[in-house]
Amino acid sequence: MEAYHSSSAIRPTEEQISGPFYPVQKPRDQGTDLTVVHGKKEKAKGQIVYITGRVLDLKGEPIADTQVEIWQANSFGRYTHPSDTNPAPLDPNFEGYSIQKTDKDGRYKFKTIKPGSYPVPGGRVRPPHIHFSITSTTNRLITQLYFDGDPLNDKDIFFGNAENKESLLVKLMPPTKDIEPDAMIGEWNIVLRQ
pLDDT in tens, 10-44: 899 999 999 989 888 777 777 899 999 988 999 99
The pLDDT value recorded for residue 31 is 84
The pLDDT value recorded for residue 15 is 97
- Collapsing DSSP states into helix, strand and coil, what is residue 153? helix
Q: What does the CA dihedral 192, 2, 105, 62 come to, rounded to 10 degrees?
A: -10
- Among candidate residues 79, 97, 108, 146, the one labeled active-site is 79
- Among candidate residues 129, 140, 146, 193, the one labeled active-site is 129
The Cα 81–Cα 181 span in angstroms is 31
pTM of the model: 0.93
The Cα 70–Cα 93 span in angstroms is 17
For residue 130, pLDDT over 70 is answered with yes
Q: Give the list of residues 6+ apart from residue 8 with CB closer than 8 angstroms, or none.
A: none
- Asked if 146 is an active-site residue, the reply is no
The pLDDT value recorded for residue 75 is 98
Average pLDDT over the chain, rounded to whole?
93
For residue 6, pLDDT over 60 is answered with no
- Asked if 131 is an active-site residue, the reply is yes
- Asked if 129 is an active-site residue, the reply is yes
For residue 47, pLDDT over 80 is answered with yes
For residue 64, pLDDT over 90 is answered with yes
- Asked if 126 is an active-site residue, the reply is yes
- Asked if 79 is an active-site residue, the reply is yes
Of 147, 88, 75, which Cα lies nearest the Cα of 115? 75
For residue 127, pLDDT over 80 is answered with yes
The pLDDT value recorded for residue 46 is 98
The pLDDT value recorded for residue 8 is 54
The pLDDT value recorded for residue 7 is 40
- Among candidate residues 54, 78, 81, 131, the one labeled active-site is 131
The DSSP call for residue 131 is E
The domain limits of the chain are 48-191
The CATH architecture one would assign to domain 48-191 is Sandwich (2.60)
Query: What is the sign, positive or negative, of the torsion defined by CA atoms of 34, 36, 39, 45?
Result: positive
